[in-house]
Structure 1
Amino acid sequence: MQKELILVLKKIPIHFLCWMIVWFFFKSFFSVGSSNKAFLFWFSSLLSIITLITAYVFVYDLIPKYLLKKQYKKFVLYTIYSGVFVATTILMIEVVGFVFYFNLEYQKMPTLITSPAVVLVCVFFIVVLASGLKILKHNYKSLEEKKSLENKFLETQLQLKEQELKFLKMQIHPHFLFNSLNTIYGFAIAKADEAPEMILKLSNLLDYILYQVEKPKVLLEEEVNHLEDYISLEKMRFHDTLKVNFVKEKIEDSIQIPPMLLIPFVENSFKHGEIKEGILKVDILLKTENNALFFRVENSSEIKENSNVGIGLQNIRKRLEMLYPKKHQLEIIETKDTFKVDLKIEF
């Protein structure tokens, strides 16, 4: 309430200045053909008061209540009433001036004042000008409010997307960690010589998963390094039954991607791949070209009854849709002997 009062008080000097300008306009405009300063002062003052009242009625009552709410019939009706009121008042002022200031001598009256239509047009010109400013202000305020609501909506959507993305990451990490720890466990039981190396590689992977993954993006080279560590761990676990061919072409140093974006595809190939003739074959291709990333993972497989794409790939598909909307292509091709994933991301 106090803020509104302060706002109103700040507007008073501006309104007073505007109406003083209107008064000087009326006094100067209608002084043509007359030197009766007393009449001109009296006439301009009354005409300014009538204009002020009419303008405020339109700006603060008729326009907000009827025009902006699209009640056009009522607005037109009250506009006609206002026109009749103003025209009648102008005629009364002219009659009073004709009797008391010019002693019924019509020739001595200012030329422009003898035409009520001219006076009426001047009054409604000021009213229309004030009303136009009111409508422009309303439209500007509406646009600002609409923009503010759109921004709030976008912020809400972004927060929801971020929460969903965190949820998907949480689904990926435990699954990845479980497989890695399971590998270490097997080597620990067997007391294999490779165990220390596996622990070191797993330590690096844990650091990447638990800390680096909180970053929105990492260098593609970092993702590749940890992808190679993961492949090394899996090779140790599978011994001679895993054959991985990892080809890297034209890896640009400047490209960044979200962490843990590529590893789930490779993890899926190891988990769901089929060992044929004693070997699980996995071919991986990664290259960057024309500001785009191409990633392919192909593994030996068999079509099983009621086979569906794993939940890991479903989650990564959702993640890609959030991270790269309309800027990625993910194609999954399953044949009799192979399972292939093709990914393209445009930056």
Structure 2
Amino acid sequence: MRYCIFLDVQNILFFNFKKITLHLLCWFLVWFFFYFFFSVGTSSKGFLFWFSSILSAISIVSSFVFVYNLIPKYLLIKKYKLFVLYSFYTAVFVTTAVLMTVALGFVFFFNLEYTQMPTLIKSPSVILVTVLLIIALASGFKILKHSYQSLEEKKTIENKFLKTELALKDQELRFLKMQIQPHFLFNTLNTIYGLAIQKNENAPEMILKLSNLLDYILYQVDKPKVFLKDEVAHLEDYISLEKMRFHDTLKVNFIKDIQNENVEVSPMLLIPFVENAFKHGIIVNDFFTININLKVTETKLYFTLENNFDKEKETIQGGIGLENSRKRLEMLYPEKHSLQIIEKENTFKILLEINF
């Protein structure tokens, strides 16, 4: 504990030492500037030392007034009227101090002989401009430093906000996945149960496909991205399971036009839409018909799905699967996707477009 306090005190002293050293160096440079600037036309080193020291003192005091008082207390918090008022008072002080300095030099160093005074010293306006230049530079540095610190603080706050937003988005995505997985799994197991009751001879194949689906649902879905070919393969496995359940009454027209199967997409991106069609579709004219069209270019994915639907008996728009899929798309592909759900009297259609 004592060691930590000692280190803190040591750090503070070191910081203050650096700050004081930097200030002394800057003001020495100011004195150096005055000394050589006003040395033109005079060889009196005593006068130059005295004159430069007084001008440096005026500049230091005025600069500190602006840097540590007027700028932070009035300008930066937009109290412009008070800033202008006190700046005027400071300007009066600087002008008076400069004129008094010239007068003292005129009396004590040049014995009231105006012709002996250096050309630059004869012009109080030049002296005033040099002092105001130093004040302006110090004030400008203070404003620039404040602007830089404000930008850094803003960036820090924005980074913290983005990290928090990303963390919340990640948690929400996990929550949506947790909802989709058991929902999809429950419907798949119901399909298997129906096939088991029928003692279907394709049971081994059915169990293999179910095993692949379970692996995809439970493990692959945790990955941020999967290859499109894997998503399509598991989609086809699911359709095969449903074909076993519906036998010859099911017609699935799955048209694929995929230019690049290695395009990466979010897992379970398409399956919930197909699963929703099987859950809410109806048999019309002895057939359960689903039309699926998937087209993938280098830059876009087009997915359409259409199935028979009885609007009087079914309400799909608010289903868990579709609602979660909508939210996931908004989070995974913000402003890069278009999802249309068209619900007519006898048909239900989904139009999905994603820009990679």
1:275-290 superposed matches below 5 A: 275-289=283-297
2:253 and 2:292 in contact (8 A); partners too:
yes
Give the TM-score of the pair, scaled to structure 1: 0.94
CA–CA separation in structure 1 for the residues paired with 2:345 and 2:101: 100
Specify the code of the residue in structure 1 equivalent to 2:326: R
Q: Does structure 1 residue 342 correspond to structure 2 residue 347? A: no
* Equivalence map 1:42-191=2 (5 Å): 42-191=50-199
Offset of 1:335 from its aligned partner?
Answer: 2.9
Question: What SS does the aligned partner of 2:181 have?
Answer: helix
Comparing 133-142 and 304-313, the one that deviates more = 304-313
Judged with a 3 Å threshold, the aligned counterparts in structure 2 of structure 1 residues 74 and 5 are, in CA distance, closer, same or farther, namely: farther
Alignment equivalent of 1:320, drawn from 315, 321, 329 = 329
Residues 259 and 298 in structure 2, CA contact (< 8 A), matched pair in contact too: no
One-letter identity of the residue aligned with 1:259: P
CA–CA separation in structure 2 for the residues paired with 1:9 and 1:335: 78
Check whether the contact 2:229–2:262 (CA below 8 A) recurs between aligned residues: no
State the match for 1:38 in structure 2: 46
Alignment equivalent of 2:27, drawn from 19, 32, 36: 19
Q: Distance in 2 between matches of 1:287 and 1:4?
A: 65
Aligned-residue offset at 1:264: 0.5
Q: Secondary structure of 1:155's partner?
A: helix
Q: Which residue of 1 aligns with 2:320?
A: 311
Structure 2 CA distance, aligned partners of 1:267 and 1:253? 22
1:29 aligns to 2:34 (yes or no) = no
Distance 1:5 1:59, change over 3 A: farther
**Counterpart of 2:234 in structure 1: which amino acid?**
H
Indicate how the Cα distance of structure 1 residues 272 and 305 shifts in structure 2: closer, same or farther if over 3 A, else same.
Answer: closer
Q: Which amino acid aligns with 2:24?
A: F
Asked if the contact 2:280/2:314 (under 8 Å) is kept, the reply is no
- Structure-2 separation of matches of 1:64 and 1:264: 59
Q: Return the letter of the residue paired with 1:35.
A: S
Q: Which runs of 5+ in 1 are unaligned?
A: none
3-state SS of 1:42 partner: helix
TM-score (norm: length of structure 2): 0.91
* CA shift in 2, pair 1:281/1:308, >3 Å: closer
Q: Secondary structure at the match of 1:287?
A: strand
Matched, 1:262 2:266: no
TM superposition shift of 1:281: 0.8
Tell me by how many angstroms 1:320 deviates. Answer: 0.9
Distance in 1, matches of 2:128 and 2:344, equals 86
Paired letter, 2:72: P
Q: Which stretch shifts more, 139-148 or 86-95?
A: 86-95
Local SS of the residue matching 1:304? coil
State the match for 1:273 in structure 2.
Answer: 281
* Counterpart amino acid of residue 216 in structure 1: P
Q: Give yes or no for the alignment of 1:329 onto 2:338.
A: yes
Rounded to whole Å, the distance in 2 between the matches of 1:292 and 1:150 is 32
The Cα shift of 1:210 comes to: 1.0
Question: Are the equivalent residues in 1 in contact too, given 2:280–2:316 (CA < 8 A)?
Answer: no
Aligned to 1:221: 229
The separation in 2 between residues aligned to 1:193 and 1:4, in whole angstroms, is 82
Read off the aligned partner of 2:276 and give its amino acid letter: N
Residues 265-318 of structure 1, C-alpha deviation per residue, up to 9 Å, x if partnerless?
Answer: 100110000012322111111111351111111112222167341232122111
The residue aligned with 2:299 is 291
Aligned letter for 1:115?
Answer: S
Q: 1:189 to 1:306 in 2, by over 3 A?
A: closer
Q: Give the corresponding residue for 1:248.
A: 256
Q: Distance in 2 between matches of 1:67 and 1:7?
A: 27
Partner letter of residue 346 of structure 1? Answer: N
- Structure 2 counterpart of 1:326, one-letter code: E
Q: State the secondary structure of the residue aligned to 1:35.
A: coil
SS of 1:95's partner is helix
Q: What is the aligned-residue identity percentage? A: 64
How far apart in 2 are the matches of 1:332 and 1:207? 29
Shift of 1:61: 1.2
Cα deviation 1:127-146 (Å, max 9, x = unaligned): 00111111111112212222
Q: Secondary structure at the match of 1:329?
A: strand
